[in-house]
Structure 1
Amino acid sequence: MYLYHFGLRELPFTLTPNTSYYFGLPSHKQAIEVLTLALKTGEGFIKVTGEVGTGKTLLCRKLLNELPDHFVSAYIPNPCLSPAELRAAVARELDVAFDGPVDQQEFTLRIEQRLIEIHRQGQAVVLIIDEAQALPVESIEVLRLFSNLETESHKLLQVVLFGQPELDQKLDLPELRQLKQRIGFSYRLDVMDLEQLVQYVHHRLQVAGYRGSDVFSRACCKMLFRASQGTPRLVNVLCHKALMLAFGEGKQQVEPGHMQLAIIDTEAAVRRDGHIWRIWSLVLLCSVLSVAAGYWLWVRYL
Structure 2
Amino acid sequence: MASEDLFESQTLREAQARLRHLLRLRGIGLLTGEAGSGKTTACRRITSTLHSGLYRTFYIPLTTGNVMDMYKSIAWELGLPTERNRASAFRQVRAEISRLTLESKQLPVLIIDEAHHLRNDVLEDLRLLTNYAMDSDPRLCMLFVGLTELRRRLGMA
What TM-score do the two structures reach when normalised by structure 2? Answer: 0.88
Q: Percent identity?
A: 26
Number of the residue aligned with 2:50: 67
Secondary structure of the residue aligned to 2:101 is helix
> Taking CA–CA contacts closer than 8 Å with sequence separation of 6 or more, which of the two structures ends up with the larger relative contact order?
2
1:39 Cα deviation from its structure 2 partner:
0.3
Secondary structure of the residue aligned to 2:144 is strand
How many residue pairs are counted as aligned between the two chains? 155
CA-to-partner distance for each residue in 1:99-139, whole Å, 9 max, x for gaps?
xx532111111111111111122111110111211111111
> What letter matches 1:85 in structure 2?
D
1:89 Cα deviation from its structure 2 partner:
0.6
> What letter matches 2:6 in structure 1?
Y
2:35 to 47, 52, 61: 52
Q: 1:126 to 1:102 in 2, by over 3 A?
A: same
2:89 to 107, 114, 129: 107
Secondary structure of the residue aligned to 2:129 is helix
Within-5 A mapping of 1:54-203: 54-69=37-52, 70-98=54-82, 101-120=83-102, 121-150=104-133, 153-174=136-157
1:77 Cα deviation from its structure 2 partner:
1.8
Q: CA–CA distance in 2 between the matches of 1:153 and 1:122?
A: 17
Q: CA–CA distance in 2 between the matches of 1:111 and 1:150?
A: 15
CA RMSD of aligned residues (A): 1.9
Within-5 A mapping of 1:149-298: 149-150=132-133, 153-174=136-157
Is the Cα–Cα contact under 8 Å of residues 49 and 56 in structure 1 kept in the other structure? yes
Q: 1:159 to 1:173 in 2, by over 3 A?
A: same
Instruction: Give structure 1 stretches of 5+ with no counterpart.
Output: 1-16, 175-302
Q: CA–CA distance in 2 between the matches of 1:50 and 1:20?
A: 22
Q: CA–CA distance in 1 between the matches of 2:92 and 2:55?
A: 20
Instruction: Give structure 2 stretches of 5+ with no counterpart.
Output: none
> What letter matches 2:112 in structure 1?
I
Choose between structure 1 and 2: higher strand proportion.
Answer: 2
Is the Cα–Cα contact under 8 Å of residues 149 and 156 in structure 1 kept in the other structure? yes
Is the Cα–Cα contact under 8 Å of residues 147 and 157 in structure 1 kept in the other structure? yes
Q: 1:152 to 1:134 in 2, by over 3 A?
A: closer
> What letter matches 1:149 in structure 2?
Y
Structure of higher CA gyration radius: 1
Choose between structure 1 and 2: higher helix proportion.
Answer: 1
Q: CA–CA distance in 1 between the matches of 2:38 and 2:67?
A: 27
Is the Cα–Cα contact under 8 Å of residues 63 and 117 in structure 2 kept in the other structure? yes
Is the Cα–Cα contact under 8 Å of residues 78 and 130 in structure 1 kept in the other structure? yes
